[in-house]
Structure 1
């Protein structure tokens, strides 16, 4: 109710008249008088005094008017921001692969539509991202996995991500149109870090088919893996989107890895109980299209 009293106080100060303030606000004059009295009781000071036919601000009233004007400005601004829901912070958890090679054009488009939203990208592996989305520590998760379901989460497949074996142009696999697990017998492998879903898939397929291999290097950095492959230190399994530039320059070759287990998709995950602001829905719509359209 104090916002109402402050608004009444500003009108009385503006017009110097209870009567005029009542007409402007659509109140009875007795209501204006009562509101000012309650405001004076609240602040413990006389705010207005009569001079002739006009009401003038006391020193206390002049001090309060400055605060009342600022409070009103902030109140109006808050209504605009909340109604538009176009400010704040959006936290997105994803893996390095997608943060570097999938998200940038979407982030650029989102910044154009929601310039006042601060986006925080939180890197991590899939188990961390999934748990953080469930707990509300992340607003959105973007993962690279086989089709994913969880009773606490909404999940949406955005697109399939082809996985390829990358090798130097003079490697013996370079001339093949596709690579099968048996082709990796005794090959020197350069692996991504532990916790990577497509690394886990590759090792499981190798073990299940009793294919021997040599572990040459293990990196948590994609650029290091690509550089080692370029120098002929081994071969690696990576999403094709991560090596498009090196393929274009002829630094490496990329051969599709063909196996029933090798079906990976970029997927959007959000908590089912998450409240969706306009800015939040804007990002979901950007990635998921009609599935999250806010008509």
Structure 2
């Protein structure tokens, strides 16, 4: 059985869309369609059907999904078990801002502890990362959210991360030290895409106070957002870590958004019952976190 086909099938089932599944997997849409057709030919049954705008599982598809998840889980577990002598393998998820501006030094520390280990980094928004960790697709994930309380997960708060209103240095708010959300009434916004936790918090707060702000554009790239703000398309809300360099260089201005409910933390999440491994213990240790199931071992010398 082709595991690539099963992985694509699982993603389409989760997304309800071939297009979205292809984007998440990094495949062409036509490739995912062909993989689904191959599965249907193998099983001799229709696995998915379109209902409105969504792709939904048929009865046969629901049965296969159970086996597909288990086969993919066993495959990942076998890779880790067989590769343990070589250092192990991990699949980690992260939102874009943390992957770009927070994670690199920790990856370097992990590499120094486990030079032979293999690590794959998958981007996603918070809902996608939560699903990935809970399904076992991801060994762990980094999120930026208010303190998360989820009985299904181990949550390790790493640090608080201020959210900053980012604008051009010539903007009317650029000289302020801190502002409330009411100051955004009438402003034009350049926002992150749907699924971003701090985007959702900002829009929710604006609705609560009755402030009217126009969304100029929604982008999935932090770098693209910063460039749009520099061009004067609007203001944005971004984590401090993502704009530090531009603020220091005077290319952007950043003002603290003071809102009582905007307590956002960088958090590392994983399943409590996840099977421990030396590689996973070392990954946690790179953030100063100890594996609750199995304290990190001394890494073998390269």
Asked if TM exceeds 0.5, the reply is yes
| Secondary structure in 2 matching 1:287 | coil
Structure 2 residue aligned with 1:237: 237
Give yes or no for the alignment of 1:270 onto 2:270.
yes
1:127 CA displacement: 1.0
Distance 1:107 1:154, change over 3 A: same
In 2, Cα distance between equivalents of 1:262 and 1:85: 44
In 1, Cα distance between equivalents of 2:157 and 2:286: 14
| Secondary structure in 1 matching 2:154 | strand
TM-score, normalising length from structure 1?
A: 0.70
CA deviation map 1:30-75 (0-9, x unaligned): xxxxxxxxxxxxxxxxxxxxxxxxxxxxxxxxxxxxxxxxxxxxxx
In 1, Cα distance between equivalents of 2:274 and 2:291: 16
Gaps of 5+ in 2: 1-80, 298-302
1:275 CA displacement: 1.0
Distance 1:85 1:129, change over 3 A: farther
In 2, Cα distance between equivalents of 1:173 and 1:291: 44
1:134 CA displacement: 1.1
CA contact (8 A) 1:86 1:278 kept: no
Structure 1 residue aligned with 2:221: 221
| Secondary structure in 2 matching 1:256 | strand
Structure 2 residue aligned with 1:162: 162
CA contact (8 A) 1:156 1:288 kept: no
Structure 1 residue aligned with 2:254: 254
1:294 CA displacement: 3.0
Structure 1 residue aligned with 2:153: 153
CA deviation map 1:3-32 (0-9, x unaligned): xxxxxxxxxxxxxxxxxxxxxxxxxxxxxx
In 1, Cα distance between equivalents of 2:155 and 2:227: 34
CA deviation map 1:177-233 (0-9, x unaligned): 101011101001111001100000000000000001111111111111101111122
Distance 1:211 1:89, change over 3 A: same
In 2, Cα distance between equivalents of 1:259 and 1:250: 25
CA contact (8 A) 1:164 1:237 kept: yes
In 2, Cα distance between equivalents of 1:145 and 1:164: 15
In 1, Cα distance between equivalents of 2:273 and 2:252: 45
1:151 CA displacement: 1.4
Aligned Cα root-mean-square deviation (Å): 1.8
| Secondary structure in 2 matching 1:172 | coil
Aligned positions of 1:100-115 closer than 5 A: 100-115=100-115
Aligned positions of 1:1-295 closer than 5 A: 87-289=87-289, 293-294=295-296
| Secondary structure in 1 matching 2:178 | coil
In 1, Cα distance between equivalents of 2:239 and 2:102: 11
CA contact (8 A) 1:86 1:114 kept: no
CA contact (8 A) 1:85 1:277 kept: no
CA deviation map 1:140-192 (0-9, x unaligned): 11111101121111101000111000010000001111010111010011110
Structure 2 residue aligned with 1:48: none
CA deviation map 1:109-164 (0-9, x unaligned): 11111111111001111111111111111101111110112111110100011100
In 2, Cα distance between equivalents of 1:237 and 1:153: 28
| Secondary structure in 1 matching 2:234 | coil
| Secondary structure in 2 matching 1:151 | coil
TM-score, normalising length from structure 2?
A: 0.68
CA contact (8 A) 2:156 2:268 kept: yes
Gaps of 5+ in 1: 1-80
Distance 1:83 1:169, change over 3 A: closer
